[in-house]
Amino acid sequence: MPKFLIANWKMNPQALEEANKILGEILKIKNYKTQLIICPPFLWIYDLIKKYGNKITFGAQNASFENLGAFTGEISPLMLKNIGVKYVILGHSERREKLLESDEIINKKLETVLNNDLIPILCVGENYGIRKKGIEFAKKFVTKQLKKDLVGLSKFKNKKIIIAYEPIWAISTSNIGIADNPKNANEMSAFIKNVIQKLGFKNINILYGGSVNSKNVLKFLKEKEIDGVLVGGASIKIEEFSKMIQILNKGLKN
Ligand code: PGA
């Protein structure tokens, strides 16, 4: 199965024309060796799906834990599904840290998203304080996150679930902002796969995220246990993202 290349555009770009420009450029590239998924801001998703939905798969960056009702400002996963969204990022560290999203909330969101047959991309990862103590501490922390986020969801064990290992310190906008070593990321991926399998889930993929760019993307995707990458900052720079795709088209096997 081709590896995932998932773009998390975060709160960018500021105008729909710019979003169209990025997608127009990357669609000029042929013979993709990766499964490309674009996660734009909510406001652009509907227009982008209408225009590119037959060529590109789209994901959302978040969703509510309810499908309908009195939830001012929330976005219904059912509405997302109805307009053609296929994937939903949940539990991103920016939402956990800046919007105080708890594991309990993420767990409820996972349940609703899975009930709607959307594919969750659940983000987990440790901060620098934890990682400084060693990779075994990071493994313990991530295991706790996974167990809390996935508690009570074993009824979905045959559904596809994607886990993105994103060490917080490696995210390009964080204080350190340097990518993890691909070997460490591979070790963490294998570890996470094992934890999730023990929890009973069968249909899983593990991604790495954190300062992925055209210089390191192939190294990550050549690692056996890493099934894809989640790319933030580099995915909204047209030239950089196009370069990444071309490097992968050349460097990865079919
Ligand atoms: P980054 O972001 O690629 O800019 O480090 C990744 C993410 O936050 O998902």
The rounded Å distance from CA 240 to ligand 1 centre is 14
pLDDT by residue (tens digit) across 135-145? 999 999 999 99
Q: Is it the case that residue 166 has pLDDT exceeding 80?
A: yes
Q: What is the crossing angle of helices 103-115 and 135-150, to 10°?
A: 50
Residue 253 pLDDT: 84
pLDDT digits (tens, 9 = 90+) for 1-38: 899 999 999 999 999 999 999 999 999 999 899 999 99
Q: Is the peptide bond before 13 cis (omega within 30 degrees of 0)?
A: yes
The pLDDT, as a whole number, for residue 243 is: 97
Reply yes or no on whether 74 is catalytic.
no
- Using an 8 Å Cβ cutoff, are 168 and 125 in contact? yes
**Quick one: pLDDT at residue 191?**
98
- The one catalytic residue among 94, 126, 166, 223: 166
Chain segment 193-215, per-residue pLDDT in tens = 999 999 999 999 999 999 999 99
Distance from the alpha carbon of residue 199 to the mean position of ligand 1, in angstroms: 27
Mean pLDDT for 161-181 is 96
Is 92 considered catalytic here?
Answer: yes
pLDDT of residue 242: 97
Residues 21, 23, 28: CA angle, nearest 5 degrees: 100
Q: Give the Å distance between the CA of 211 and the centre of ligand 1.
A: 6
Model pLDDT for residues 51-101, shown as the tens digit of each residue: 999 999 999 999 999 999 999 999 999 999 999 999 999 999 999 999 999
Mean pLDDT computed over 177-189: 97
Closest residue by CA, ligand 1 atom 9: 232
Q: Share the mean pLDDT of the chain.
A: 97
pLDDT by residue (tens digit) across 98-120?
Answer: 999 999 999 999 999 999 999 99
pTM for the full predicted model:
0.98
Report whether residue 232 contacts ligand 1, using a CB cutoff of 6 Å.
Answer: yes
Point out the catalytic residue in the list 92, 94, 101, 223. Answer: 92
CA 87–ligand 1 middle distance (angstroms): 17
Please say if the pLDDT value at position 254 is more than 80. no
- Phi, psi (deg, nearest 5) at residue 242: -60, -40
Return the ligand 1 atom nearest residue 211 CA. 5
Q: Give the pLDDT band of residue 246 (cuts 50, 70, 90).
A: very high
In the three-class reduction of DSSP (H, G, I as helix; E, B as strand; rest coil), residue 161 is classed as strand
Regarding the beta carbon of 230 and ligand 1, being less than 6 Å apart is answered yes
